[in-house]
């Protein structure tokens, strides 16, 4: 009997130890998750001037060149869609490795000098504290506001990745020739919805595009194919003048065309109005009118610009959460162009 009592007591002790271990593990996991989450005001005590410094440098950049606003928005997008929002798009190529920024889809990226200027000041103010990935997220928000979009709060706490490979842009960045199904697949793989996709496409209301991004709509690969019938004929004529076939086929620098010819530097809903008028520049832009669900969202934004501004800001926050590195993952680069 005594032996049985001791056995039952030992079993209870072992069960208690197991349960205690489980509780400790759960608490540890919860703590790790809490630390891993991005948060608004992340630098309030770590580096109080962080967001102000970024805002000042973005303001300088955009005042000197209004097109920089679109460039900074695009930088953040292209960063997040390859390896997540980890600042890897900022890394320079090195011996034996071609970085993301030198991949063909990124050949026209701009705004790097604004990020560099902000990083230099931040390292002087708070050495080794503010990540390049967070600078990109702040800069995109501030650029949007300067172009006329809605200001929004940016959750921060991202850390920087140390790998950047040009080949990884393939299949991760949506091509300008994509249809809605392909766009949904790419955005969905990043945890974003179709509604996010349509809203984020509205970033094309500012900035420029290379003629090579849409010359297939102007100059078909075979004579029998004809020009793109979904494009407004007068707009098509204008584009063929701006992008002569000889220029699109040469190895020289590609001509640039405004994504929105009406208000190219103003963040508004003209992008969606252009699509409704069959004046979407890229195939992927005009494709939004071919699907009933995305078309309804497009038309909705033209009728209610305020809903677009709200949805775009929300989608930017969601995009900024893609595969982020937090806690002890990654690093804080002191120079956004190099590892270390």
Active site residues: 78
- Pull the structure tokens for residue 340: 């270390």
Sequential DSSP letters for 186-232 = HHHHTT--HHHHHHHHGGGGSSEEEGGGTHHHHS-SSTTT-S-TTS-
The residues near 30 (Cβ < 8 Å, ≥ 6 apart) are none
Contact 81, 88 (CB under 8 A): no
The residues near 270 (Cβ < 8 Å, ≥ 6 apart) are 205, 260, 262, 263
The residues near 311 (Cβ < 8 Å, ≥ 6 apart) are 195, 199, 301
Q: What CA–CA distances, in Å, run from 307 to 38, 141, 150, 153? A: 25, 17, 11, 17
Q: How far apart are CA 204 and CA 197, in angstroms?
A: 12
Sign of CA dihedral 107, 108, 114, 115: negative
Helix (H, G, I), strand (E, B) or coil at 251: coil
Q: Which residues face 156 on adjacent strands?
A: 39
The residues near 95 (Cβ < 8 Å, ≥ 6 apart) are none
Q: How far apart are CA 275 and CA 241, in angstroms?
A: 20
- Rounded to a whole number of angstroms, the CA Rg of the chain reads 24
Beta strands in the chain (DSSP E): 208-210, 256-258
């Amino acid at each position: 009997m005594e032996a049985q009592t001791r056995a039952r007591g030992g079993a209870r002790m072992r069960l208690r130890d197991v349960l205690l271990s489980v509780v400790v593990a759960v608490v540890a996991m919860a703590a790790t998750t809490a630390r891993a989450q991005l948060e608004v005001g992340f630098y309030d005590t770590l580096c109080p001037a962080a967001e102000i410094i970024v805002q000042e440098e973005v303001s300088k950049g955009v005042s000197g060149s209004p097109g920089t606003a679109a460039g900074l928005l695009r930088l953040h997008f292209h960063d997040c869609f390859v390896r997540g929002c980890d600042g890897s798009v900022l890394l320079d190529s090195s011996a034996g490795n071609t970085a993301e920024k030198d991949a063909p889809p990124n050949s026209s990226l701009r705004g790097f000098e604004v990020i560099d200027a902000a990083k230099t000041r931040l390292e002087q103010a708070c050495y080794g504290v503010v990540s390049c990935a967070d600078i990109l997220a702040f800069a995109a928000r501030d650029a949007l506001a300067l172009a006329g979009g809605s200001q929004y709060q940016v959750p921060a706490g991202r850390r920087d990745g140390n790998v950047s490979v040009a080949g990884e842009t393939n299949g991760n960045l949506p091509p300008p020739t994509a249809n809605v199904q392909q766009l949904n697949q790419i955005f969905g793989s990043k945890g974003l919805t179709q509604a996010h996709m349509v809203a984020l496409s509205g970033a094309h209301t500012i900035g420029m595009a290379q003629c090579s991004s849409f010359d297939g709509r102007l100059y078909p690969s075979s004579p029998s194919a004809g020009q793109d019938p979904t494009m407004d004929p007068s707009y098509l004529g204008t584009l063929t003048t701006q992008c002569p076939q000889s220029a699109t086929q040469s190895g020289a620098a590609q001509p640039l065309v405004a994504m929105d010819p009406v208000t190219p530097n103003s963040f508004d809903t003209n992008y969606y109005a252009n699509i409704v008028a069959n004046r979407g520049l890229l195939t992927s832009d005009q494709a939004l009118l071919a699907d009933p669900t995305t078309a309804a969202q497009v038309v909705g934004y033209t009728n209610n610009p305020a809903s677009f501004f709200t949805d775009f800001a929300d989608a930017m926050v969601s995009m900024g959460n893609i595969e982020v590195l937090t806690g002890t993952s990654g690093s804080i680069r002191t120079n956004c162009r190099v590892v270390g």
